[in-house]
Amino acid sequence: MLRCWCVLVLLLCVTRPVSAQEPLQRIAFGSCAKQDKPQPIWDAVVETKPQLFLFIGDNIYGDTEDMTVLKQKWDLLGAQPGYQKLKQTCPVLATWDDHDYGANDAGAEYPKKRESQQLFQDFFGIPKDSPRRQREGVYHAEIFGPPGRRVQILLLDARYFRGP
């Protein structure tokens, strides 16, 4: 399992919410998924019954300026049976790092950053009319839970505007 991910941390608490107004108590997050390898880790993640999964970068290893190839690599991740099961059980929020952005250690100079962002947003199901599609970068914030028991998730984009 460690070969599939370099980071997998599960924060486990008591229960899964029945509605959006119940507090978020179980979050799973991970990164460094090798899309072309078996990923049995998804079954273990699903078994913990997370209420939310955070993909925190290097969600695939794209490393290309060819957007057809990059899309194929996203499609490989999307075809993983365990990942499909996870998407059916909880929301998935994501940001990227260099490899899913498009190139090792890439930043603002990456020539296909706009196209890569569109593929990222398509893969993660960002609606076509979302304000997130009108801005540069994939940063995002979302609040879960009722007043007094809210959890705010902040996903930063450390690639799109990164200087040398």
pLDDT at 93: 98
- Count Cβ atoms below 10 Å from residue 52 Cβ, excluding itself: 20
Structure tokens, 14: 């008591």
Q: Read off the pLDDT of residues 48-90 as tens digits, 9 standing for 90 and up.
A: 999 999 999 999 999 999 999 999 999 999 999 999 999 999 9
Q: Read off the pLDDT of residues 5-46 as tens digits, 9 standing for 90 and up.
A: 333 333 333 334 335 678 999 999 999 999 999 999 999 999
pLDDT at 19: 54
- Beta-bridged to residue 27, according to DSSP, are 11, 52
pLDDT at 114: 98
pLDDT at 132: 98
pLDDT tier for residue 164 given thresholds of 50, 70 and 90: confident
Question: 104-110 contacts: CB < 8 A, separation 24 or more?
Answer: 104/63, 106/159, 106/162, 107/159, 107/160, 107/161, 107/162, 107/163, 107/164, 108/160, 108/161, 108/162, 108/163, 109/164, 110/65, 110/159
- Report the distance separating Cα 157 and Cα 97, nearest Å: 8
**Averaged over 118-144, what is the pLDDT?**
98
**Averaged over 142-150, what is the pLDDT?**
96
